[in-house]
Structure 1
Amino acid sequence: MREEIFQYVKKKYKTSPDYPFRTAPTYPVLRHADSRKWFALIMDIPREKLGLTGTEYVDIINVKLGDPMLADMLVRQPGYFYGYHISRSSWISILLDGTVPFEEICRWIDESYAVTASRQKKRKIRPPKEWIIPANPKYYDIVHAFDDVREIDWKQGRGIKAGDTVFIYVGAPVSAILYKCRVTETDIPYEYSDRDLTITAVMKIRLQKRYEPDRFTFEKLKEDYGIYAVRGPRGIPEELREALR
């Protein structure tokens, strides 16, 4: 599978592997051409190092994800592990023995490439993303925000860009996801400040779908999807993404 990966990144990112480790000459690194920052590392290690049975060597690829919660969800699946020898942040290791389909591995290589890219490159290459964002009904009547219009201004979320999808989680007493919206414009200058809130930019969001208040409650998010808080823009676990669709 190494060669398949090399062909994939060569075609998509015009990247070739290099072998920087004298003590581990079989470990190829895949880097960004501009920053030389890693976005993937392939290693061959004994299966027992991953807690698997057997002593034979197996290839793994280390990639970085943008959401620690997503990493926690993936490592529960066969073929996925917390990053071997790269325990910081959200690095994971994926078996290259066929346990995880090649197309799925390519998806996480793409994710790692986007997450580790320079700031300038990130804005150019990142595909549309889905987020959960919080709304406090104490400060804004979000429950009735879309009664008469389909598009509203909302506080700019860090990392969110036009084309992304946001699922609005409304805080207590509602405590549930109520809306799916598409981000149509971002980084609109705006000045507002009080004791509880400061806004320097807003984005425009357009309503796409409503959810019943009892469908995606906080209790369901916690018990079924491992989401214990929504304090700011955050990624969405795959199982929840499918349910929201």
Structure 2
Amino acid sequence: MRTEYQEVLMDIADQCSKMDVFHAPITKSIIDYVNQKYGNELEFLWKKVSDNAIWRRSDNQKWYAALMIVSKRKLEIDSDELVEIIDLRETPEVIENLIDYQHYYPGWHMNKKHWYTILLDGSVYFEDICHRIDRSYDLTQKSK
């Protein structure tokens, strides 16, 4: 009984502390935007990597965005500084023309043909990111 009680308390503590993972003002604004527009909450799927989360559509369970904290070096930037990023879906043709290694990067830890990364450091306007989230969301709709 004690073990079950401790597990329940740990689960509650995990759920209550998740929103404190991301600290950048733009990231917090993005979280609010997605919650208000789509009603989706971040899902923290990996206990060992608690600073990675995804959003998925409610109707088909497909992922349309991932928020993560990574070293800039993972994006081929010469720095070990940790940064918040968002990975989004897009068509291969658009991604090919989008990647500039200043604002848009190949999808980190995702299929680089269908995903790209935005560094959430203010170098891309909030409105542009929201538009790109909407596009990613639309791309994951059910096929007719």
Q: Scaled by the length of structure 2, what TM-score is found?
A: 0.77
The answer to whether the Cα contact below 8 Å between 2:106 and 2:112 also exists between their aligned partners in 1 is: no
The answer to whether the Cα contact below 8 Å between 2:63 and 2:140 also exists between their aligned partners in 1 is: yes
Q: Which residue, 103, 119, 133 being the options, matches 1:109?
A: 133
Give the whole-Å Cα distance in 2 for the aligned partners of 1:88 and 1:45. 17
**Equivalent runs, 1:225-240 vs 2, <5 Å:** none
The answer to whether the Cα contact below 8 Å between 1:78 and 1:100 also exists between their aligned partners in 2 is: no
Which residue of 1 is the match for residue 46 of structure 2?
A: 21
Q: Deviations over 1:109-135 (max 9, x none)?
A: 111100012235xxxxxxxxxxxxxxx
Structure (1/2) with the larger helix percentage: 2
Q: Scaled by the length of structure 1, what TM-score is found?
A: 0.46
Give the whole-Å Cα distance in 2 for the aligned partners of 1:81 and 1:91. 9
Give the whole-Å Cα distance in 2 for the aligned partners of 1:88 and 1:77. 13
Displaced runs of 4+ in structure 1, greater than 3 A? Answer: none
Give the whole-Å Cα distance in 2 for the aligned partners of 1:58 and 1:112. 21
**RMSD over aligned Cα, in angstroms?**
1.4
Matched, 1:38 2:63: yes
- Equivalenced residue count is 119
Structure (1/2) with the larger strand percentage: 1
Unpaired stretches in structure 1, ≥5 consecutive residues: 121-245
Which residue of 2 is the match for residue 168 of structure 1?
A: none
Unpaired stretches in structure 2, ≥5 consecutive residues: 1-25
**Equivalent runs, 1:45-84 vs 2, <5 Å:** 45-65=70-90, 67-76=91-100, 78-84=102-108
Structure showing greater radius of gyration is 1
Which segment is superposed worse, 38-47 or 87-96? 87-96
Letter in 2 for 1:78: Q
